[in-house]
Amino acid sequence: MTQENTPFPEPNARIYLGSIIFFLYILISFPIIGAIILVCIFAPFSIRYALAKFWVGTILWAAEVLCGITHEIEGLENLPTDSPAIVLSKHQSAWETLALRQLLPTQVVLLKESLLWIPFGGWALATLRPIPINRDKTRESLKKLIEQGTQALKDNLWVVVFPEGTRTALGENKKFNAGGAMLAHKSGYPVIPLAHNAGTVWPRYSFLKYPGVIKVKIGAAIEVEGKKAKEINAEAEDWIAKAMAEMGQ
């Protein structure tokens, strides 16, 4: 696997062993939880979601025990309690694709369509109301995001979007895609910007996981009334860039 071109602790036996066992746990548990969720396909959405959330909790626990990875959160008070919102999150790692299911209210996620093709785990993910898109079909994907995202928000579900579109290297800031901001503009629901530095301990495309504390910063809600999608996007992008700079990135 490719390793980030940034300084990490010199891998030792504990890092190698912890990373191997952690990988095996994910490899074995993912299809198992997928099969369990599929058995519950006719059960209420809340039950399937609770099962997925429980599995994510075990992943975070395993990451702490086996790899020494923990996290701390700043800004939980910024999460609205009277309505759902659209989260625009930094994307550095696989960590946030899992952890946000634990850290944020019940949600649906914008993701690559191909992820739903993974046997059992991906099939189960398809039952959790994701918004799958084909990146090669931009207009069709935007329409799907707005239609399905708006319906999810009306159903009191949050919508999580990674506007950079792909995991970025440490210190890298990719231009935000406008889909999440367009959803906010069309639906009228607020945007919550979220920054984190998960890539410092759980690097993208890397097998090895390193001990450390992931810092998560949640910004104040960005109200969207009277704003164009471009303005909403720029405001979220600017806040996240400043938050990342405060974290040394």
Q: What is the pLDDT of residues 124-183, one digit of tens each?
A: 999 999 999 988 888 899 999 999 999 999 999 999 999 998 888 888 888 999 999 999
Q: Each residue of 202-239: pLDDT tens digit?
A: 998 899 999 999 999 999 999 999 999 999 999 999 99
pLDDT of res. 7 = 63
The model carries a pTM of: 0.92
Q: What is the CA radius of gyration of the chain?
A: 18
pLDDT at 6 over 80: no
pLDDT of res. 172 = 81
Interior CA angle at 193 toward 191 and 196, to 5°?
Answer: 155
Provide mean pLDDT across the span 74-91.
96
How many angstroms separate the most distant Cα atoms in the chain? Answer: 56
Q: In what order do the strands lie in the sheet with 212-218?
A: 69-74, 212-218, 191-196, 86-89, 158-161, 107-112, 131-133
- Cα dihedral sign, 18-21-27-32: negative
Q: Which amino acid is at 236?
A: A
pLDDT at 201 over 50: yes
CATH topology classification for 13-246: Glycerol-3-phosphate (1)-acyltransferase (3.40.1130)
Q: CB count, 10 Å around CB of 82?
A: 4
Write phi, then psi, for 35 (nearest 5 degrees). Answer: -65, -40
pLDDT at 3 over 50: no
